[in-house]
C-alpha cells in the first residue's frame, strides 16, 4: 500500500496534481476539502454548520475530519493505497493519521510538500475565485486561510521532517514538470520498484 499525504498551502496545486497521482498509482483520493464541500452542497444541517466555519477560513473539528475519513475508507476497501489532500492540517491530525495507519495495518510513505511562494499563492487563489464560486476564495478569506496555514499547518511539516518522512517538491513551473518531480520522489522513496 502506498499511503501519501500531499501537503502545501492553499493554492499550491494539490487538487490538480492529485488527479494525476491517483490515476498513475491507483490510489483512493481523500480530499477533506472536497468532502466538506459536498456536505455543504447537500444543504444538510451539518453542511450549514461546516459552511459557517469554512467560509471564514477556519478549520473544522478533528473529530468531524476523522469521521469523514474513516467513512470514506470503509466504503472503499480494495485500493492500492490512499492519497490524502488537505489532511493532516494540524499536529493533532498528524498524530491521528499515524493512529489510523496503525489501525489499517499498513505503512505511511510520508508527506509530499508542494512549495510555492506566498505572492504566487495569493495570485492563483484570487484567479481561482473568479471561476470556482468557492465562498472562501475571496481576498480577505484567502489571507485568513494563509494565516491558519502558517500557524497551525506548517508545524506539521517539521513534525514529519524530524521523522524523515518529508519530501519537498518545487510547486512552480508547468503542471507536467511538477507532476514529474512528485513521481520522482515517490519512485525514489517508496519500495514499489
The site for ligand ADP (CB under 6 A) is made up of 10, 32-33, 36, 54, 57-60, 65, 86-87, 89, 93, 136, 145
Nearer to ligand ADP, 6 or 186 (CB): 6
CB of 62 to ligand ADP, least distance (A): 7
Nearer to ligand ADP, 60 or 186 (CB): 60
Least distance from ligand ADP to the Cβ atom of residue 75, Å: 18
- Cell reading at 100: 489510523
Q: Do residues 79 and 26 touch, judged by C-beta distance below 8 A?
A: yes
If DSSP codes are grouped into helix, strand and coil, which group holds residue 6? strand
Beta carbon of residue 193, minimum distance to ligand ADP (angstroms, whole number)? 30
Residue with nearest beta carbon to ligand ADP: 33
Considering only CA atoms, which of 123, 112, 29, 20 is closest in space to residue 72? Answer: 29
Distance of closest approach, residue 188 Cβ to ligand ADP, in angstroms: 26
Helix (H), strand (E), coil (C) string for 87-130: CCCCHHHHHHHHHHHHHCCCCCCEEEEEECCHHHHHHHHHHHHH
First-to-last C-alpha distance (Å) of the chain: 13
Q: Which is nearer to ligand ADP, 86 or 171 (CB)?
A: 86
Residue 118 or residue 187: which is nearer to ligand ADP going by CB? 118
The CB-of-119 to ligand ADP minimum distance in angstroms stands at 16
Q: Which run of H or of E encompasses 81?
A: strand 81-85
Judged by beta carbon, residue 99 or residue 184, the one nearer ligand ADP is 99
Amino acid at each position: 500500500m502506498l499511503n501519501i499525504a500531499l501537503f502545501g498551502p492553499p493554492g499550491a496545486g494539490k487538487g490538480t496534481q492529485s488527479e494525476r497521482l491517483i490515476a498513475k498509482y491507483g490510489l483512493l483520493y481523500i480530499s477533506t476539502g472536497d468532502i466538506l464541500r459536498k456536505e455543504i452542497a447537500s444543504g444538510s444541517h451539518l453542511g450549514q454548520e461546516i459552511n459557517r466555519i469554512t467560509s471564514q477560513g477556519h478549520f473544522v473539528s478533528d473529530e468531524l475530519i476523522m469521521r469523514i475519513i474513516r467513512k470514506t475508507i470503509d466504503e472503499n476497501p480494495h485500493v492500492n493505497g490512499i492519497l490524502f489532500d488537505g489532511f493532516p492540517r494540524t499536529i493533532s491530525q498528524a498524530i491521528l493519521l499515524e493512529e489510523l495507519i496503525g489501525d489499517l495495518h499498513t505503512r505511511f510513505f510520508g508527506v509530499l510538500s508542494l512549495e510555492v511562494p506566498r505572492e504566487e499563492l495569493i495570485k492563483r487563489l484570487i484567479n481561482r475565485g473568479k471561476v470556482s464560486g468557492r465562498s472562501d476564495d475571496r481576498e480577505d478569506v484567502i489571507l485568513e486561510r494563509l494565516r491558519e496555514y502558517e500557524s497551525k499547518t506548517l508545524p506539521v511539516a517539521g513534525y514529519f521532517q524530524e521523522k524523515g518522512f518529508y519530501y519537498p517538491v518545487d510547486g512552480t513551473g508547468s503542471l507536467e514538470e511538477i507532476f514529474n518531480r512528485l513521481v520522482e520522489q515517490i519512485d525514489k522513496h517508496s519500495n514499489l520498484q
